[in-house]
């Protein structure tokens, strides 16, 4: 299942790729959301802060989806600060390796901690982003959490 929450005014997007439903095809709506958010914030005062949560046990994208993600993120308007949270070490390694293999317009952080991802995004944007906590809470409420730990509390 795919869930996302977007605050265009603050250029903040939180996505959750959750267990359940048609997991192999969750990446289609995800790509559409990435592209639409990048387009909506292109030319704005702040770079898009993008937080992606991948639930434990969700399958990695197959080669077709990996190619489509690579194409979408190669778009000239795709320049976010990009943080991925996953407890899957293979996924973390794959995402890190991709950043080494091709030139990117965005900066990425990959790790197992929501708190570190949010701190990294705030450091990159050089401002507090309480919206990340609010949007994170909303995407986590949309389906039962299947994370190894409870979600981060919304920043106030």
DSSP character for 75? Answer: S
- Is 0.95 surpassed by the pTM of this model? no
DSSP character for 11? Answer: T
| Alpha-carbon dihedral 136, 138, 139, 142, rounded to 10 degrees | 150
Reported as a pLDDT band with limits 50, 70 and 90, residue 154 is: very low
Residue that the structure tokens 């869930």 belong to: 3
Express each pLDDT in 88-120 by its tens digit.
Answer: 777 766 666 656 555 566 778 888 899 999 999
Residues 69 and 31 sit within 8 Å (Cβ to Cβ) = yes
Question: Among residues 35, 43, 52, which one has the least CA distance to residue 120?
Answer: 52
């Amino acid at each position: 299942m795919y869930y996302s929450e977007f605050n265009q005014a603050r250029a903040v997007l939180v996505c959750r790729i959750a267990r359940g439903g048609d997991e192999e095809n969750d990446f289609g709506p995800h790509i559409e959301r990435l592209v639409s958010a990048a387009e909506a914030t292109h030319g704005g005062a702040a770079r898009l802060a993008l937080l992606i949560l991948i639930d434990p046990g969700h399958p990695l994208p197959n080669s077709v989806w990996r190619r489509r993600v690579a194409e979408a993120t190669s778009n000239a308007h795709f320049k976010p600060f990009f943080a991925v949270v996953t407890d899957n070490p293979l996924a973390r390694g794959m995402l890190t390796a991709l950043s080494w293999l091709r030139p990117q317009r965005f900066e990425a952080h990959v790790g197992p901690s929501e708190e570190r991802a949010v701190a990294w995004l705030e450091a990159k944007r050089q401002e507090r982003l309480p919206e990340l906590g609010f949007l994170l809470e909303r995407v986590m409420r949309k389906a039962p959490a299947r994370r190894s730990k409870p979600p981060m509390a919304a920043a106030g």
